[in-house]
Chain A
């Protein structure tokens, strides 16, 4: 019965949103900001930080520009606001989306802007709930839902603050823009980095056991040289990038390590350096393209990589990339990616990566089939 009495994420922290709505209803002008959303003064912030050192410290680290940025809060003077008419509708959507994101990212980063203030409160509340001593893996789904719910609320609330140039005027493109811009593509990538450290910690706790199995597999595969690993994974011989291996007199082919598919491996390692799930998926896509280009170079012709060939190569790259907590990464991407892309190419690649992860966990058991 655990979790059966949980309040839906949307209904949590009503008080914070109510206050914000009151502010909007009161006409949302600059004079009323302070009375509704708290004062803006550096001194106060300092006092607060004395009280709860750890929490504010984290916020400040997450938002290095928060104090110096003085974004004018209801208007946004962007010079290139009106150029979108000339662009084709497809590009127009992209451009609009980009402008919207830029504007919102400034707003969220500013401790002056009502949206920034709201976000700051939400982060504090989130940290108070889930970080430190309260952190437990069972809270993961609650925390995850809460972040998504905040992203959705903020996406709705952002409408009240859009400058003229970003308002959607043309009804013909409006539907298309709606389809492309949603909480998952606009606000979530912007706010996720702020919640990321605590949220990812929960994912790590949640996948502790699996991740340690996976790590054992990684350590085991690490013992194998490049050619032995390729053989072990039954990669077709003609796909082996042997030309990348330059032997010195003292070396033998069978002992060379970390030479094959290096471009793909280096590319894949970037996956844990970003917070935005879309960035992570893009990294995965680029990794695929690197594998593909290596294969093309080796064979000196275009080759259609079917899964029979691709999966062993992907296992090779993943095992050599040695990403810590890959299980946590996978789960986070799955939870936070735009649900409308389900069944698409990104979903496929993520599934392929997931299967590599699962496979590596089992790899350890197969030590008997080690190639001689």
Chain B
């Protein structure tokens, strides 16, 4: 669902999945981002489970739909149903909770396996306001993020810190990916209409690198 032209400018529509364990604050993160900006009371969102937002980035109109997922372990196997066809993923962990960071690693592996490099990933360390209780080191997180081709951000939903930057960066990267896809489509004639990502075989490299801190 990359871009759909409508009238003059181009409007991009992106699907972003939100992943993270139960209490990492992913809900407050998106609620903070989407709150009060557009006060139209149209039913286009479902409280905290499905949110939409319109942006204008460098003259390009962008609609993003944020799909929440259930973080509980027992629903883990349902993940692929949700992130099918998504353009971006926000993976949230709690900087005071080492375990939640391990979960993020699992999701990254899965996303890369299912969607390859077409999906833009953001790894987000939330609860920056609890810096004194930090259990996941900044360095470890950033090195890991780089090794899997993701961007790392620090946010605090409580203090409203770092959230705008996170989404802005994610949108920019999704636009780039969409444009690259368009260009590829433009070059390769023929089956341009429905070249959905098929099965992708991804190198195992990032996993090997992270194994040290995984187990």
Chain A residues in the interface with B (C-beta under 8 A):
175, 234, 288, 292, 304-308, 310-312, 342-345, 348-349, 351-352, 354-355, 358-359, 362, 366
Judged by a CB distance under 8 angstroms, whether B67 is at the interface is yes
- State whether B27 touches A343 (Cβ < 8 A): no
- State whether A306 touches B85 (Cβ < 8 A): no
How many inter-chain contacts with C-beta < 8 Å in the A-B complex? 76
List 3 tightest A-B contacts by C-beta distance, closest first: A304-B48, A306-B27, A307-B68
Judged by a CB distance under 8 angstroms, whether B78 is at the interface is yes
- State whether B81 touches A345 (Cβ < 8 A): no
Q: Interface residue tally of chain B, by bracket? A: 20 to 34
Q: In the complex, A272→B56 CA distance in Å? A: 41
Q: In the complex, A89→B48 CA distance in Å? A: 31
Q: In the complex, A21→B1 CA distance in Å? A: 36
Q: Smallest Cβ distance from B98 to chain A, in angstroms? A: 20
7 A-B residue contacts at CB 8 Å?
Answer: A292-B47, A311-B72, A342-B85, A343-B13, A344-B65, A348-B65, A348-B67
- State whether A311 touches B65 (Cβ < 8 A): no
Closest partner residue, chain A, to B23 (CB atom): A308
Apart from A359-B75, A359-B78, list 6 A-B contacts with CB within 8 A.
A234-B74, A288-B46, A304-B31, A310-B70, A348-B46, A355-B82
Given known A304-B27, A308-B71, A362-B77, contact A345–B1 (CB-CB < 8 A): no
Partner of B49, one of A307, A359, A366: A307
- State whether B81 touches A358 (Cβ < 8 A): yes
Q: Which residues of B contact A342 (CB under 8 A)?
A: 1, 85
Chain B residues in the interface with A (C-beta under 8 A):
1, 7, 13, 15, 22, 26-27, 31, 43-50, 52, 65, 67-72, 74-75, 77-78, 81-82, 85
Given known A234-B72, A305-B46, A348-B46, contact A343–B81 (CB-CB < 8 A): no
Q: In the complex, A359→B73 CA distance in Å? A: 12
Partner of A355, one of B15, B50, B75, B85: B75
Closest partner residue, chain B, to A315 (CB atom): B75
Main SS class of interface, A: helix
Q: In the complex, A345→B49 CA distance in Å? A: 10
- State whether A348 touches B81 (Cβ < 8 A): no
Q: Which residues of A contact B75 (CB under 8 A)?
A: 311, 355, 359
